[in-house]
Structure 1
Amino acid sequence: MRCRCLLLTVVTDCQTNKSFLCPTMSLLASALVGLTGLSLNYFVPKFMSPGSGPSQFAVSSASGLASSCDATNIASCTNTTAIGNLCCFEAPGGLLLQTQFWDSNPATGPSDSWTIHGLWPDKCDLKFSENCDPSRAYKNIAGLLSENGAAKTLDFMKTYWVDINGKDETFWEHEWKTHGTCMSTLEPSCLPAGSAKGTEAVAFFDTVVKLFQTLPTYKWLANQGITPSSSATYTLDTLSTALQTESGFQPVLDCEGSTLDSVSWYFHLKGSVIDGTFVQIDTPEEGNCPSDGIKYPPKSDDGESEPNKKMPSRHARRRHHHK
């Protein structure tokens, strides 16, 4: 299900400097977003109702980095005229997904928390670019963070941003290379003069961690009486309603078969990824979980784990879905 586009929005592709069209809901809705920060829902699937109200999260860099952007400016994906300064307006990837894992077997991360997958810049039409700048595919992310004042961010990542096969560094490098290099507001030319090489990657990891900390998926489900179980199953409506009740917004849920393993929270962005304001919105797409019989197992490694299991990839599923 998709909404009808009542207006076409013009933004500029940071990779080509060419203007392109991006769908929005209406001129009135866009004006409200720009003036008040109200969230803009692209469509509402049958299993969910609109969010209870706008929610915004301002971030700041743990390393002290600051942009020159005004975070009260219009949110990404909601403009009605061309935007010239893509250092302060995320485009074309203005639909930002904070994605989280629930890895139960083999288990990763604390037993009472979901873990970070990443922050993905999708285009406003649900399409996306990846691996936008191979020259900035930095290695040794841990060293980069430690050397640039983000040791606390790194410590948090070691617990909450972990790879299912124990290859955390490779995982972090992948997320930066694949998604972070596609963010227009993190182009090196957008950084303060004299910034060290890799500073924009440090800002990326700072922001992902801070945003994740505002989205306690495990706690929200537990508050609604939904905790990991070896025997219980849930309907998609029950899980979705629980998260919307707690957060005010509807994420998308994805499964490996009938087992819940991924959640994505959606945002538009005012200003820069470095220190902008994330404006939360309802999911503009449906996930792949079945309507019922969904398992939410406890994290455990009972000796029957799959040591060579690949990381679940929502983008791989979506590539197939959108063909």
Structure 2
Amino acid sequence: MINSIPIREEAGSKDVEKEKDFDFFYFVQQWPGAYCDTERSCCYPTTGKPEADFGIHGLWPNFNNGSYPADCDPNNPYNQSEISDLVSDMEKEWPTLSCPSNNGTKFWAHEWNKHGTCSEHVLDQYAYFQTNLDLKKKADFLNALKTAGIEPNGTFYSLDKIRDAIKSGIGYTPGITCNVDASGNCQLHEIYLCVDTCGSRLIECSLFPDGKCNSEIEFPSF
């Protein structure tokens, strides 16, 4: 049986352990339609409205007990000059939706500083961001869902059907988390996959976040 853990609050969690080693990564992508369709709303990046596709949220080291390391090396902060040739791909595959509108640097810096530094003994800064982009190619969630007849058009679908579609299309069981739109409807927000500690291979998850999903959830348009 796969265990469930409380979904992390990305802005405020401080469940930090001193040990920098970890047991696996979560690779997380978010659906922009769900991010934007809340009371908080969103702002498109300065490069324009992103494509209607899942975007990278991040690659997060985790422990098997449900905790995770964070902010492991303040002496190795985000340095965009080290990844300059990746930025154009990151703008497409890892767009920011936070307000006010910005170029994504703050989002990427947060992901590296909080999560990436905890894997720097495995992935340096360049490898961390390249690995995220490589995993995005392996995990085409939108195609997997559309192949199963699940379209982002505001329709409600069975949570089990969405999970099964991802498992069939990608080959691994996903974790799914939901948020609530401005009308109070439960909607598909993020999809989690697990990755080995080298960041190179998808693996089955031993535990998932508490997705806060109903049995039927909306797949909103974007």
TM-score interval, smaller chain: 0.7 to 0.9
CA deviations on 1:114-167 (whole Å, 9 max, x unpaired) are: 00001000012221011011111224x2x3212xxxx1x221101111111233
1:219 corresponds to: 143
Equivalent in 249, 262, 266 of residue 194 of structure 2: 266
CA deviations on 1:1-48 (whole Å, 9 max, x unpaired) are: 667xxxxxxxxxx955xxxxxxxxxxxxxxxxxxxxxxxxxxxxxxxx
Question: Is 1:92–2:32 an aligned residue pair?
Answer: no
Same amino acid, percent of matched pairs: 23
RMSD: 2.3
Equivalent in 58, 83, 89 of residue 145 of structure 1: 83
Q: Is the 8 A contact 1:109 1:161 kept in 2?
A: no
2:7 corresponds to: none
Q: Is the 8 A contact 1:237 1:291 kept in 2?
A: no
Q: CA deviation at 1:280?
A: 1.6
Question: Is 1:236–2:149 an aligned residue pair?
Answer: no
CA deviations on 1:183-240 (whole Å, 9 max, x unpaired) are: 15247xxxxxxxxxxxx2111111111111110000000000001013x101211111
Larger radius of gyration: 1
2:76 corresponds to: 136
What runs of 5+ residues in structure 1 fail to find an aligned partner? Answer: 4-13, 17-90, 188-199, 300-323
1:157 corresponds to: 90
CA distance in 2 between counterparts of 1:253 and 1:279 reads: 16
CA distance in 1 between counterparts of 2:110 and 2:166 reads: 29
Q: 2:127 aligns to what SS in structure 1?
A: helix
What letter corresponds to residue 156 of structure 1 in structure 2? D
Equivalent in 51, 55, 62 of residue 110 of structure 1: 51
What letter corresponds to residue 97 of structure 2 in structure 1? I
Q: Is the 8 A contact 1:235 1:292 kept in 2?
A: yes
CA distance in 2 between counterparts of 1:245 and 1:2 reads: 18
5 Å matches for 1:16-27? none
Question: Is 1:172–2:172 an aligned residue pair?
Answer: no
CA distance in 1 between counterparts of 2:82 and 2:113 reads: 14
Equivalent in 96, 116, 120 of residue 60 of structure 2: 120
The alignment's TM-score, normalised by the length of structure 1, stands at 0.54
Q: Is the 8 A contact 2:77 2:113 kept in 1?
A: yes
What letter corresponds to residue 103 of structure 1 in structure 2? P
Which structure 1 residue ranges, 4+ long, deviate > 4 Å from structure 2?
none
What letter corresponds to residue 193 of structure 2 in structure 1? W
1:23 corresponds to: none
Q: Is the 8 A contact 1:234 1:293 kept in 2?
A: yes
What letter corresponds to residue 215 of structure 1 in structure 2? A
